[in-house]
Each structure stands twice: as C-alpha cells, then as structure tokens.
Amino acid sequence: MKKFFASAFLATAIVGCGGEIETEVGQPAAEIETEKFRLSMKTKFHTEGELVKFMTASASVVTVEADFYRGKPWVAMVFEAGAEPGVDLPLHYQWGTVPDELEFDYAPDMDFDPGAYDMVAMVYAGTEMTPEMMNGTILDLPFPANKDVTTFTLDQSTVRENDPDFAPGMIRVNLGMTHTDVVCENRWSTEQHSETERFASFTNTYLILP
Amino acid sequence: MKTRLLCLGFFAVLNCSNETPSEQVIETPEEWPIDPASGLRVPAHAPLPPVPEWADNPFNEAKRKLGRALFFDPRLSSSGNGNCPACHASFDAFQSGGIVDIPDRSFPNLEPKLTRNAPSLLNLVYAPVFRWDGSHGTNLYEQMALPFAESNMNLTPGIPAEDVHHVDVPLAQVELKRRLTEVVPGYIEWFDAAFDVDITEESLEDVWIMSGKALSIYIRGAVSKNSAFDRWNAGDDSAMSEAAVRGLKVFVGKGACNACHPGPLFSDFQFHNLSLSLPDENGVRPDEGRYGVTGNEEDRGAFLTPMLRSVTQTAPYFHDGSVGSIRRVMRHIASDASRKDPNYSPLLDRVQDLTDEEIEDLVQFLKALKGEELPVSVTSFALQNELP
C-alpha cells in the first residue's frame, strides 16, 4: 500500500472541491480484492450560552462568540499514516460549512483498507477563504491563524508498534475490520497544573490559532 | 565527477557572485559515485558532526535533567502558563506550528502576538548565529536564557502587554533567581546537583547563565540527523526515492538552493533579502530584519537563512510565517516575486525557473532530510514528578 501511494504521488490530479485523489496509476491486475471499511470524524463544538471555548497551544483558554464559527468553511482530510499535512497529498479531503448547531461530520465517500490513517480537520473562521483558494490545490491552503481552529491530540497511545508517528494536528485512526468513527470536540481546562486535566484537554480536541 | 562536486561545494560558500543565470552553467551529475576521500556522494552535505562539547559547560545528567525542567516548567513564566514548548514544542520539531505565537505577556489574551515566526530549535546547538536577524549575540547560553526577559516568558513585572518587544534582562534576572530559590525552592538542590553550587549565594548573572547552560545541555538532544539523505549519501541506494535524487540535482543545479543552504546544516548562516518584507512608497519595510541590528543599508529586509534538516516538519515558513506550503516557498524563490525588493539578494539571480515536476522532486528531496525520531526523553512533556 505504501509503495503504491508513493509511486502514485507524482501522478496526481485533484478532484474538484473534495473527493478522492485520483491517480493515473491503476491497481495491479493481480491484486486481491480485500474488504474495505469506512472511517469518519465527528466534530462537536460545545457552547456555553452563545460562547465557545478553545485551548491555545500555550494552554490558555480563549472564549469566542459562537457565531464567529457558524457558516465558516471547514476542511477535513485523511492521510496515509505518518504523512505531513501541507507536504503530502491526502487520500481524501472534503470541504463543508459549519452549521448553526456547530456539529459536523466528515464522512469520506470512499472506503479504506484496514490499517493506520491520520485525519485532520480545520475551520477557517478568521482566515478569509476565497473560492479560488478552496478550489485550488489542497497543498496550498493557508496556514490556520486568526482564531481558526484545528484538530489536535497529545494522545500517542494510538500509535501501534512499527507504525509511524503522526504529525501534530493529525488524529491517528487505526481502522480494523469494522467501520471507525473518531470524535473531536473543543476541550478545555483551567486546571493546567493537573497533569490529568492537561492531558485530557489536549486529547482529540480543537486548538485555536493566534 | 569529483571536480564537479568540488565546484558545487565552491558555489556553496561563494555567495557574493554577480553572475547572471545566463552566464553561469551549473552542471548536475547524471550519477552520484562515492567520493573515495570522504566516502560520500555529496561531500558538501556531509552528515552532522557529533554534538559540540563545551569546555565551560561539560555534560552531566543532572544538568540535562535541570535543563529539561527549566524548558517545561510553567512556573517560570509570569502567568504560570507559559513555557518554552509553547513556541518550541518538543513534539513538533521544537517549533510551534503557528504563524506567529502569543507571548506570555499577553496571557490570557490572544493579542498582541509576536511579530516573527518562532524558528525550530532543531540543530540550534550547531548554529553560529541565532534569530531571524542575528540579534542578541552569538552566545548560546545567553540565547537560551533570554526568553525569560522577553515577553515570551515575561519575568519582567510591570511591562504592559502591548510592549511586546521590550526586553529587560536585569529585571528578569532578579525574578528568575527569586522563582528558582523562593517560589520553587526545589531548584536549589537541582542546581547543586548540576553545577555543584548553592544558587542562593550566586550572583544574579551567574544564576542566569547557569540556567542558559542547563537549557543548552537539554537541547543538545534536539538534533535532526541520520536522515534518509544521509544514508543515501553514504551509499545506500534504497534510502532515497528516484524523485528525491532528482530533487537533489535540482537543489544543487537549476534551483541553486545550495548557494544559501550549503553544508551539513544546509545553511550559510548569512542574511538574505528574498523580497518578503517589501518597502512601501517611502522605502520603509514592515520588518527591516538584519538592518535593525547592523544599520547597514545592504541588510535591509534581510533575514537569516534557516537550516533545512527536517524542514518539512517546520511549516509555516519565512521570518513572518507567511507561507504555509513548502511548494509555495519554492515557487516564490524561483519566481520574480523574490526579486521585487530593490535590495534582493543577488544569489537569487542564480535560481532558474523551475517546473512543477522539479518542485515536486525538490519536495521529495527535502522530505528525505527529515531526521530520525527523537527519543522520548527529549520530546515528551515533563511530568509533574519530573519537576522540582
């Protein structure tokens, strides 16, 4: 699988505004068809009244009007495990819009072989995204900033032996012989001197970028 | 072949040529035989030497443990929340992954931000000069302690948040010693184990420098080495893909990347203007870079050449973090956009137009500069029971 994607890397064409990355390299004729499975990422931003809180990388808690995120574009991607966002092409990506209830699902319209994958999602709330940017190459997206939020986890227990580490911002998903969902929520804690609290608030969460 | 490689090495250090692209012919080898003298295919980009030993700061494990604690301990910031990893995350190639960061002086607000991108600390122990503009000297120990006096850690009581660039070392020296001896007195014993001194009786300056020394010992572990390129360079054909080898040819050939990124660290440690901080109608740039340190006109808009090992892990790029994609970095450098500033580096004239395929190959080569995984003892968060 790795070699297949590596050899296909240079012969890629990005499909419209989301979708599987098409390649000109076909499946080897002799390859045995294996069962594939779905994976998805569910996002939920919890609110306090009309406010939403996020942690920064420096562990402060920032409160923002929930409306700041409503109607803003999100993009989510699936990568081969160990990939580097912004450098490697995703296997799949999708754009969407944050709904009023601040919950959205990234459910790729393709299935994946069992194995390790890395997923990332970002909401461009402060960075203005033009149609040209959203329709352009997925590798040239602006770096999140200005209260944009992006997935993050400190939990490395998901990295199995002999699997590569994941890049910061990525969420490792180990797809077994079943469909798999990962959930990311805005977590925060003001008890940052508690190791347990600190770890929990930095697990499968969204960080806000300055 | 050997002659060609030596010529490339010569280009790497000769960085003041006025040649134009049409005048220069950079030949790139079709094959990469091992140079018998060095045992390498590209001696100009040899593997990293061993981490330097410092006669005035010999390694001991107590010092490394102390340096690690100083690096991670939020109690040494004004707010009690900031620490070095906030901008130089040990799990993220010792940089923040953000465009610019929020200093502790701004806590708990998101504003004001710092104005330059926090560079990676990887391989900093080898660097002869620090910071985007080379400011604040070339002494590593002082560099490592300095953030305590800046807005970053903000051990400078009374300075308002909006004064984000105000640095007061004497004030911070007082506060650092107070924190190490009174707020977290457990540090007294840790300094004793590391330096065999009682810091309660040491001068403010000595406590300051010892802190910098301990931090320097800790970041000796922040080294990006033994990359796929290093293995390929030593003769392992399978270590780099064909695309990465093609990228190397572009790196030393059409791209002339090695003009500014030579040597084992892939940096000339000089300051170059890449038209990233363009002058307005009055000739004033948003950030004058090196000029702010030297006052020399030729330094206007010039910034330090970053090292490239593990570069694909250190986005966003440039002094202001303005470019998130490494492909865009290369497109900028290989286009007229990099020569818009009247003070642009003449080395840019060596860079020829690159095709999309050549840029992809360069990306694959730069990926091959990723170092081996760092040990957990370097990257992991300090746990509470690891702090004094």
Those residues of chain A whose CB sits closer than 8 Å to some CB in chain B are 6, 9-10, 56-62, 84, 86-87, 139-143, 145, 147, 154, 165, 167-169, 192-193, 195, 208-210
Dump pLDDT digits (tens) for A66-122: 999 999 999 999 999 999 888 899 999 999 999 999 999 999 999 999 999 999 999
- Interchain contact, A57 vs B97, CB within 8 Å: yes
- Interchain contact, B316 vs A143, CB within 8 Å: yes
Cα angle for residues A108, A1, A36 (degrees, 5° grid) = 40
- pTM of the predicted model, to two decimals? 0.86
Does B4 have pLDDT greater than 90?
A: no
d(CA B369, CA B229): 6
d(CA B358, CA B255): 9
- Interchain contact, B326 vs A86, CB within 8 Å: yes
Higher pLDDT, A19 or B277: B277
Mean pLDDT computed over B16-23: 38
d(CA A121, CA B138): 40
- B369 by DSSP, 3-state: which? coil
pLDDT attached to residue B384: 63
Higher pLDDT, B17 or B316: B316
Cα angle for residues A70, A63, B316 (degrees, 5° grid) = 80
- Residues in chain A with CB shorter than 8 Å from the CB of B381 are 154
d(CA B140, CA B53): 13
Percent of chain B whose pLDDT exceeds 90: 81
- A172 by DSSP, 3-state: which? strand
Of B82, B327, B364, the CB nearest to A140: B327
Dihedral (CA of B320, B109, B293, B133) sign: negative
Dump pLDDT digits (tens) for B219-237: 999 999 999 999 999 999 9
d(CA B147, CA B276): 25
pLDDT attached to residue A196: 79
- Residues A94 and A78 sit within 8 Å (Cβ to Cβ): no
